[in-house]
Chain A
Amino acid sequence: MNLQNLSIKRKLMLITMLTSSAALILSSVSFLIYDLISFRRQLSQDLMTQAEIIGFNSGAAMAFKDEAAATATLSALKAKDDIVAAALYSPEGKVFANYSQGDKRLPSSLPSHLQENGYRFEGGYLQVFQKVTMNGERVGTLYMLSDMRQWNLRAKRYTGIIVIVVLICSSLALLLSSRLQKLISKPVLHLEDTMRMVSSNKNYEIRATRFYGDEIGRLIDGFNTMLSEIQLRDSALQRANNELQTSTHELEVEIIHRKRTQDELLTAKQAAEQASRAKSAFLANMSHELRTPLNAVIGYSEMLEEEVQDSGKISNIRDLQKIQAAGKHLLALINDVLDLSKIEAGKMQLHIEVFEIQDLIGEIVTTLTPAIGKNENAFQLRMPKEIGTMRGDVTKVRQILLNLLSNACKFTDHGSISLEVDRLRTAGQDWIRLRVGDTGIGISTEQQGNLFQEFTQADISISRKYGGTGLGLAISHRFVQMMKGRIMVESAPGQGAVFTVDLPVQAAAEQIEPMQPGETVSSEASPEVKTRGDTILVIDDDTAVRDLMSRSLTKLGFHVVAAAGGEEGLRLAKQLRPLVITLDVIMPDWDGWTVLNKLKADAELAEIPVIMVTIVDNEAMGLDLGASSYLVKPVDRERLATLIEKHRAMRFSTVGKPGVPPANWPPKSQKSSRKLEPVGPRRD
């Protein structure tokens, strides 16, 4: 059994007994050892004295060699029980006389170490040796052997006494400690009992009794205080628990309620999303449907106007112009709504191409000249001469500028409107900065906050006074974002406004995506696109070639659409009906010959001239298959331009639609009646 796990009672008794016994044993043994040592010394002294007497007495006998007398002298030792043997040795070391009691015999010659007076203990015996002299002359040696009988007896007796005393004292200690330990163990055991009762019954009302004022008494006091505290907390905890249960129940009810609400909300949200999608789809469809009749309205009213002008019925012209203006305004609204719904549906995409900024600006200024003059505003254009080209979605840039400038015109009366175009370079990127300023009514700081949000005009009264959908800025903002640019406004009420648009000169390449058939809604709605006279379709699998062709042809004023493969090229050709198609021969999937075959096999497309642009020198085969011309790379730009011009001229002379000339080609042949054209037919 482990000593450490003994009960306190036993431990106390054990400690008392061990301590007292140890002390007793130690002192007794010390005394015993001391006594035995001194007794032994006393014994040896006695024996030495004895030896001296015997030695003296036997001196004469030794001198006169009287063995009988010597033996008789030794016989006197009979009185001493402990002397078991004695002998007298002659100076030569031979035994002279002998005495023995029992079996012990001394050696017949004197041991060499026993030459001087003295004693020694050896093998449980006390050896004593004494010189025998007569008148100072050595006549022999006495050797005596004692078994220290008294000493052994004394040791045994004393040990016995000590054992008995220790036993008696231990019993007494046991008796006393078994009674006295209760002083300590009783309160401790009581405390333990109480603790067990408390923990097993979970009854914190039980209290331990305090017996004495010692540490254990204080411990018990502390324990009782603790119990009271626990009791107090227990009840508090119980109360809190009850409250918690109640509130938990309430919470559960609440959670169930909320879950139900959440489900309802989710259902409602899904329904709303469904409705929103349906709305977007409806809006898109409606816009397309609305545009078709509007085109008819505008077109016929224009025709009517011309006819009326020719017939001289001047009075009707103003009415017809009002119809046209209303129709165009309506078309603009529809286009805005369509744009916004496409943006919202995430279907608006950029069509990246390289274009001359100067051309774009000139076109916009020309378009807006009547609007600028309407409120008798002055117009200033600041643009470096060599502004160069930029790569981006020209349609969207145009739309942004038209929106901003229209707004400037709309909100400025007898003031001035300015357009600044500039290049700048920040954050390692080239930008085109377009700044549209006016001296109009201005915009307050609060109004600037939601200026670029949909269906929001600066003021409700504005829509009444100035008209408009409020979508223009929102759409511009979205377009700028799509082109990774930024739009800012600086203005104060009455101080005019300055809108700044920064657009990257090089739009990101990954945004170049071919148009999807579903998105070419305007191409169906506006037949003019099919015969847009300046579109050239470039089919080539090499990006560099595509880019180079695009740049050079764009510089010549053509609208360039590029396709990376034959299949895409065929599809675009069907959609765009381009003026000319340039076609590479070596391409993956379909090669140029296959594409040429398919183009010529299609009745709609067979008329479109195809210029082969390739490194394969096989003009005969190309011409056999129906190609119009054959160019070998590297392409001579002059020759390409001449060829295209030739084909264009041929085409217009045969297919010719005189009322619909190309937008930019030739740039100076634009008719004044087309001044609002960009707002109308659109190609997204």
Chain B
Amino acid sequence: MRRLRLIVAVLLCLSTVAGINAQSSDSAGSSEYLIKAGFIYNFAQLVQWPPATFSQADSPIVIGILGTDPFGEIIDRVVQNKKLDGRSLVVKRLKRGAPLRDCNILFIGSSEAAHLEEVLQSTKNLPILTIGEMPGFAVRGGIINLTVEGNKVRFEVNIEAAKQANLNISSRLLALARIVPQAADGKKSE
């Protein structure tokens, strides 16, 4: 069932959340990342960070983009002027080797596929929601992996990884996700 649910197509003409109109006339790439940016925003809504994560009540949620940035300005526009529980969202573009501790959400671009283990190792046990878009990302220890099935954007969740990161993911999010197990050896289970 869950599998079936993931296959259901999202109508192209639908807008993304947060009221930003989808530009169906844009290239397939920009449309895809518009949706993905929206998804990232939605994930921020359905994930609870440990209370100690934020130093202040209005400390922003920091979205780090590691490696090559596939979004461009799109993601900035999506989170612009948005607030979650009084926190604004801030996008930071990070180079490899930059400290990741300050991030609350870390998008790991495909350019970092070769160094994935290393990156994941550095965020281990930190309350950082790691999001990737490469096959086996979740299985290898990432928390959410964005996939494209047909022409629809879907996602996989590694609950074990979330628990290790001490993040609480809403069941509503889990209900829509494909849950993948943690591979002991870090290999892709599928």
**Contact residues of A with B, CB < 8 Å?**
59-61, 63-69, 71-72, 90-92, 94, 96, 134-135, 137, 139
Whether the pair B173, A60 counts as a contact (CB closer than 8 A) is: yes
- Chain B residues positioned under 8 Å from A96 (CB to CB): 11, 14
B10 at the interface (CB under 8 A from A): yes
Whether the pair A94, B14 counts as a contact (CB closer than 8 A) is: yes
Bound complex: CA A67 to CA B5 (Å): 8
- Chain A residues positioned under 8 Å from B45 (CB to CB): 63, 134-135
B39 at the interface (CB under 8 A from A): yes
Can you give 18 contacting A-B residue pairs, CB < 8 Å? A60-B46, A65-B10, A65-B11, A66-B176, A67-B8, A67-B10, A68-B7, A69-B8, A71-B8, A72-B1, A92-B14, A94-B11, A94-B14, A96-B11, A96-B14, A134-B45, A135-B46, A137-B17
Partner of B39 from A64, A92, A94, A137 at Cβ < 8 Å = A64
- Chain A residues positioned under 8 Å from B35 (CB to CB): 65
- Chain A residues positioned under 8 Å from B8 (CB to CB): 66-69, 71
B9 at the interface (CB under 8 A from A): yes
Binary interface profile of B, 164-190, with partner A (CB < 8 Å = 1, else 0)?
A: 000000101101100000000000000
Bound complex: CA A137 to CA B5 (Å): 24
B80 at the interface (CB under 8 A from A): no
Min Cβ gap A58→B in Å is: 10
Binary interface profile of B, 33-67, with partner A (CB < 8 Å = 1, else 0)?
A: 00100010010011000000000000000000000
Whether the pair B14, A63 counts as a contact (CB closer than 8 A) is: no
**Contacts A134-B45, A135-B45, A135-B84; A69 near B176 (Cβ below 8 A):** yes
Residue of A nearest to B172 (CB): A60
Whether the pair B5, A72 counts as a contact (CB closer than 8 A) is: yes
Whether the pair B176, A91 counts as a contact (CB closer than 8 A) is: no
- Chain B residues positioned under 8 Å from A69 (CB to CB): 5, 8, 175-176
Partner of B4 from A59, A61, A65, A68 at Cβ < 8 Å = A68
**Contacts A65-B10, A67-B9, A72-B5; A90 near B175 (Cβ below 8 A):** no
Considering the complex of A and B, which 5 residue pairs feature the smallest CB-CB distances, nearest first?
A68-B8, A65-B10, A68-B5, A60-B172, A67-B8
Min Cβ gap A472→B in Å is: 159
Partner of A64 from B9, B13, B42 at Cβ < 8 Å = B42
Bound complex: CA A61 to CA B46 (Å): 12
Whether the pair A63, B6 counts as a contact (CB closer than 8 A) is: no
Whether the pair B19, A91 counts as a contact (CB closer than 8 A) is: yes
- Chain A residues positioned under 8 Å from B42 (CB to CB): 60, 63-64, 134
- Chain A residues positioned under 8 Å from B14 (CB to CB): 65, 90, 92, 94, 96
Whether the pair B18, A137 counts as a contact (CB closer than 8 A) is: yes
- Chain A residues positioned under 8 Å from B1 (CB to CB): 72
Whether the pair B15, A64 counts as a contact (CB closer than 8 A) is: no
Residues 16-34 of B contacting A (Cβ, < 8 Å): 17-19
Residue of A nearest to B19 (CB): A91
Q: Is the interface of B mostly helix, strand, loop or mixed?
A: helix
Interface Cβ pair total, 8 Å cutoff: 61
Min Cβ gap B156→A in Å is: 13
Bound complex: CA A398 to CA B84 (Å): 165
Whether the pair B15, A91 counts as a contact (CB closer than 8 A) is: yes
Whether the pair B176, A61 counts as a contact (CB closer than 8 A) is: yes
- Chain B residues positioned under 8 Å from A92 (CB to CB): 14-15
Whether the pair B7, A90 counts as a contact (CB closer than 8 A) is: no
Whether the pair A94, B13 counts as a contact (CB closer than 8 A) is: yes
Bound complex: CA A72 to CA B6 (Å): 12
Residue of A nearest to B39 (CB): A64
Residue of A nearest to B17 (CB): A63
- Chain A residues positioned under 8 Å from B84 (CB to CB): 135
Whether the pair B176, A64 counts as a contact (CB closer than 8 A) is: yes
- Chain B residues positioned under 8 Å from A135 (CB to CB): 45-46, 84
Bound complex: CA A139 to CA B19 (Å): 9
Residue of B nearest to A92 (CB): B15
Min Cβ gap A110→B in Å is: 14
Q: Beyond the given A66-B8, A90-B14, could you list 4 further A-B residue pairs with CB under 8 A, ordered by the A residue number?
A: A63-B17, A67-B8, A68-B8, A69-B176
Bound complex: CA A65 to CA B1 (Å): 17
**Contacts A68-B5, A139-B17; A60 near B11 (Cβ below 8 A):** no
Binary interface profile of B, 72-89, with partner A (CB < 8 Å = 1, else 0)?
A: 000000000000100000
Q: Find the residue from B4, B13, B172 having the highest chain A CB count within 10 A.
A: B172
Q: Find the residue from B8, B46, B152 having the highest chain A CB count within 10 A.
A: B8
Min Cβ gap A131→B in Å is: 14
Bound complex: CA A134 to CA B170 (Å): 12
Min Cβ gap A69→B in Å is: 5
Bound complex: CA A69 to CA B3 (Å): 11
Whether the pair B18, A66 counts as a contact (CB closer than 8 A) is: no
Min Cβ gap B6→A in Å is: 7
Bound complex: CA A94 to CA B9 (Å): 15
Min Cβ gap A99→B in Å is: 14
- Chain B residues positioned under 8 Å from A60 (CB to CB): 42, 46, 170, 172-173, 175-176
- Chain A residues positioned under 8 Å from B11 (CB to CB): 65, 67, 94, 96
Partner of A68 from B6, B15, B172 at Cβ < 8 Å = B6
Min Cβ gap A33→B in Å is: 43
Bound complex: CA A457 to CA B17 (Å): 161
Bound complex: CA A134 to CA B42 (Å): 9
Residue of A nearest to B155 (CB): A64
- Chain B residues positioned under 8 Å from A139 (CB to CB): 17
Min Cβ gap A618→B in Å is: 158
Min Cβ gap A134→B in Å is: 7
- Chain A residues positioned under 8 Å from B152 (CB to CB): 65
Bound complex: CA A63 to CA B172 (Å): 11
- Chain A residues positioned under 8 Å from B173 (CB to CB): 60
Q: Find the residue from B9, B15, B176 having the highest chain A CB count within 10 A.
A: B176
Min Cβ gap B106→A in Å is: 20
Binary interface profile of B, 84-114, with partner A (CB < 8 Å = 1, else 0)?
A: 1000000000000000000000000000000
Residue of B nearest to A68 (CB): B8
Min Cβ gap A177→B in Å is: 69
Q: Find the residue from A65, A68, A96 having the highest chain B CB count within 10 A.
A: A65
- Chain A residues positioned under 8 Å from B19 (CB to CB): 91
- Chain B residues positioned under 8 Å from A137 (CB to CB): 17-18
Residue of A nearest to B174 (CB): A60
- Chain B residues positioned under 8 Å from A61 (CB to CB): 176
Whether the pair A66, B10 counts as a contact (CB closer than 8 A) is: yes
Whether the pair B6, A90 counts as a contact (CB closer than 8 A) is: no
Bound complex: CA A91 to CA B14 (Å): 9
Residues 99-151 of B contacting A (Cβ, < 8 Å): none
